[in-house]
């Protein structure tokens, strides 16, 4: 009787596991249906991991919607080399553990051609080895870590953002020029983001250039202690190596404490539109007066910019309308750059051919500073321009700067001119 029962259990157990096997999609173990994963005659499938939920979400969740919208625009106009682009967006909640799961899902289950714009330094660093081992093009990672620029170690990975070190150096350079005797401090994320920024800042300011350096953890939203420490240090300038949510928290908490330094934020957390709409709302113009930030793409406040006109058109027709914001521009530019790369990859794109296309410099983007792509360099935007908020309007001033080999130099080449919204078409 008991033997029977145990056999029965073993059978039931095996059966349930076999049921799991039955859910397996074809293409395991044996030969593949198509030669290049994610590519067919008329479609190409790519994927991304984004923080659609969680503490980082409010500041970044609109990026992928904008990228999708731009791909809709391209698909409506014939696609690239006759192929439509399908863009699968998966949520990882800014949690590296979830990133592991969703990226494996995208690569092993959905069999995407490439990963585009994976967002976040802590999240993407969890999957960069997996992607390179599986030889999946890991394009235009949304984060400023120098980790994405290592062609020997990660040949399939390409950066996109300006690097944290570059932004730190450029901001520090500006601070030193404008306030040579000031007290400089920083408030940063307690991971590579904050570490890299600090490194870049100290390179320019010297080993003891920062009077105070406070860190925050995304898991803990009470930053009163850190901000009051900065206040106690009498900082004139506070560099913010923070994501949008924590930029808002820092500025808001400081105001409550009666502390009003010169804020200087990076592009990862310095978009006035996002800070106003998602966090500070009607307090934004007051709290963010004179707020300095950096960016490398067109600013939505510049209505004469042909790129803005073009992106606004796409926004109106494919992304639900409304005023275009920094995240929308970020996302659309990413889609545009991917389209450039895909167009240059040839009529029968392979994973190798798209990597070669990018390394050959075929991708220009729409930004204010040059892109660094070459066989020895996988850096995206090589610098930034500074912007300041006056009466609720964020606008660029001065000139764009690039950062190379520890040097900050002005860039005079001008923005990439707008010709056609769809690369490769005539």
Partner 1 sequence: MELERFLFLTVDGLARGAVLAVFALSLVLIWRAARIINFSQGAIAMAATYLAFVVTSATGNYWLGLVAALLGGAAIGFVVERGVMRYVSSVNPLNSVIAALGVLLVIQAIIGMLFGNGYHPMQVPFSQSPLPWLAGLSISAYDLFVFACVGFVVIGLAVLFGKTNVGLRMRAAAFSPELARLLGVRSNRMITLGWMLASALSALAALLVVPTELGLNPHSTDAVFVYAFTIAVVGGLDSAPGAVVGGLVVGVLLSWVSGYLGATLSPVAVLVLLLAVLLIKPGGIFSVTKERTA
Partner 2 sequence: MSSRTTLIVGLVGLVAVIGLTFVLDPYRNYQLATIAAYLCVVAGLTMLTGVNGQLSLGHAALAACGAYCYAFTANGLAEQEVTGPVLLILPILAAVAGAAVLGLIVGLAAARLHGPYLAGVTLALVLALPAITSRFSDVFNGDQGLYISVERRPEFLAGRGGTEMFQAWVAIACAALVVILLRNLMKGNFGRQMRAVRDNEVAAAIAGVNVARTKVIAFTVSSAAAGAGGAVLAFMTQSASPGAFSLVFSLFLLMAAVIGGIGTLYGALWGSILLVVLPDAIGSLTKSLSLSPEVAQRLDGNLAVGLFGAIMVLVVIVAPLGIQGLLRKGRLKMQSRGTPQSVPVPK
- Which residues contact partner 2 (rule: CB under 8 A)? 1-3, 5-10, 13-14, 16-18, 20-21, 23-29, 52-53, 65, 68, 89, 91, 95-98, 100, 104-105, 108-109, 121-122, 125-126, 129-130, 133, 190-192, 215, 217-220
Residue 16 interacting with partner 1 (CB under 8 A): no
Dist CA 331 CA 167 (whole Å):
20
Residue 212 interacting with partner 1 (CB under 8 A): no
Dist CA 60 CA 56 (whole Å):
7
Residue 372 interacting with partner 1 (CB under 8 A): no
Q: Which stretch binds partner 1 (CB under 8 A): 67-75, 214-222, 302-310, 348-356?
A: 214-222
Which is closer to partner 1, CB of 199 or CB of 215? 215
For residue 231, the minimal CB distance to partner 1 (Å) is 9
For residue 126, the minimal CB distance to partner 2 (Å) is 5
DSSP per-residue letters across 249-286 = HHHHHHHHTT---EEEE-GGG--HHHIIIIIIGGGHHH
Residue 222 interacting with partner 1 (CB under 8 A): yes
Dist CA 383 CA 362 (whole Å):
19
Which is closer to partner 1, CB of 229 or CB of 416? 229
| Selection from 313, 310, 295 nearest residue 423 by Cα | 310
Dist CA 24 CA 43 (whole Å):
23
Report yes or no: 241 and 214 within 8 Å, Cβ to Cβ: no
Residues 6+ apart with CB under 8 A from 12: none
228 binds, among partner 2, partner 1, none (CB under 5 to 8 A by kind): partner 1
- Interaction residues for partner 1, span 17-76 (CB under 8 A): 52-55, 57-58, 61
Q: Where are the alpha helices (DSSP H) in 120-191?
A: 121-124, 128-133, 164-178
Dihedral over Cα of 66, 67, 70, 75: its sign: negative
3-state class (DSSP) for residue 334: helix
DSSP summary character for residue 93 = T
Of 279, 311, 336, 401, the one binding partner 1 (CB under 8 A) is 279
207 binds, among partner 2, partner 1, none (CB under 5 to 8 A by kind): none
224 binds, among partner 1, partner 2, none (CB under 5 to 8 A by kind): partner 1
Using CB under 8 A, count the residues that bind partner 1. Answer: 29
Residue 183 interacting with partner 1 (CB under 8 A): no
Dist CA 426 CA 422 (whole Å):
9
In Å, how far are 173, 212, 236, 410 from 233, measured between CA atoms? 21, 7, 9, 32
98 binds, among partner 2, partner 1, none (CB under 5 to 8 A by kind): partner 2
Q: What is the CA radius of gyration of the chain?
A: 23
CA dihedral 139, 140, 145, 151 (to 10 degrees): 40
Residue 220 interacting with partner 1 (CB under 8 A): yes
Which is closer to partner 2, CB of 301 or CB of 327? 327
For residue 96, the minimal CB distance to partner 2 (Å) is 5
Residue 150 interacting with partner 1 (CB under 8 A): no
- Interaction residues for partner 1, span 231-260 (CB under 8 A): 232, 245, 248-249, 255-258
For residue 223, the minimal CB distance to partner 1 (Å) is 7
What string marks each residue from 74 to 93 as x (binds partner 1 by CB under 8 A) or -?
-------------------x
416 binds, among partner 2, partner 1, none (CB under 5 to 8 A by kind): none
Apex 45 CA angle, 40 and 50, nearest 5: 175
Of 278, 305, 340, 359, the one binding partner 1 (CB under 8 A) is 278
Report yes or no: 65 and 315 within 8 Å, Cβ to Cβ: no
Which is closer to partner 2, CB of 89 or CB of 287? 89
Report yes or no: 184 and 233 within 8 Å, Cβ to Cβ: no
Q: Which residues bind partner 1 (CB under 8 A)?
A: 52-55, 57-58, 61, 93, 216-217, 220-226, 228, 232, 245, 248-249, 255-258, 278-279, 281
């Amino acid at each position: 009787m008991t033997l029977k029962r145990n056999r029965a259990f073993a059978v039931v157990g095996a059966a349930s596991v076999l049921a799991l096997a039955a859910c397996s999609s074809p293409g395991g173990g044996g030969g593949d249906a198509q030669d290049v994963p994610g590519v067919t005659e008329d479609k190409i499938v790519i994927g991304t991991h984004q923080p659609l939920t969680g503490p980082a979400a409010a500041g970044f969740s609109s990026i992928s919607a904008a990228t999708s919208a731009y791909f809709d625009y391209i698909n409506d106009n014939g696609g690239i080399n006759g192929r439509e682009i399908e863009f699968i967006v998966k949520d990882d909640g800014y949690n590296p553990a979830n990133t592991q799961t969703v990226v494996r899902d995208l690569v092993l289950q959905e069999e995407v051609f490439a990963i585009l714009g994976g967002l976040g330094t802590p999240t993407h660093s969890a999957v960069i080895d997996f992607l390179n081992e599986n030889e999946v093009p890991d394009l235009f990672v949304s984060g400023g870590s120098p980790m994405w620029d290592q062609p020997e170690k990660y040949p399939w990975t390409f950066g996109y953002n300006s690097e944290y070190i570059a932004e730190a150096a450029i901001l520090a350079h500006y601070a030193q020029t404008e306030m040579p005797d000031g007290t400089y401090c920083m408030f940063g994320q307690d991971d590579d983001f904050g570490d890299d920024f600090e490194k870049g800042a100290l390179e320019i300011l010297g080993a003891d250039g920062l009077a105070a350096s406070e860190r925050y953890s995304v898991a803990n939203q009470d930053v009163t202690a850190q901000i009051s420490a900065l206040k106690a240090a009498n900082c004139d300038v506070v560099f913010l190596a923070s994501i949008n949510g924590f930029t808002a928290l820092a500025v808001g908490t400081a105001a409550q404490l009666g502390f009003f330094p010169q804020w200087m934020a990076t592009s990862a957390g310095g978009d006035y539109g996002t800070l106003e709409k998602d966090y500070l709302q009607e307090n934004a113009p007051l709290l963010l007066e004179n707020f300095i930030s950096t960016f490398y793409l067109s600013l939505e406040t510049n209505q004469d910019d042909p790129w803005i006109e073009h992106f606004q058109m796409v926004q109106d027709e494919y992304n639900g309308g409304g005023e275009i914001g920094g995240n929308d521009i970020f996302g659309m530019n990413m889609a545009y750059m991917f389209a450039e790369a895909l167009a240059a990859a040839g009529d029968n794109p392979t994973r190798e051919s798209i990597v070669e296309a990018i390394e050959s410099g075929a991708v220009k983007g729409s930004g204010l500073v040059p892109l660094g792509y070459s066989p020895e360099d996988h850096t995206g935007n090589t610098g930034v321009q500074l912007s300041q908020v006056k009466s609720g309007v964020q606008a660029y001033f001065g000139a764009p700067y690039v950062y190379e080999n520890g040097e900050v130099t002005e860039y005079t080449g001008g923005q990439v001119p707008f010709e056609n919204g769809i690369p490769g078409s005539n």
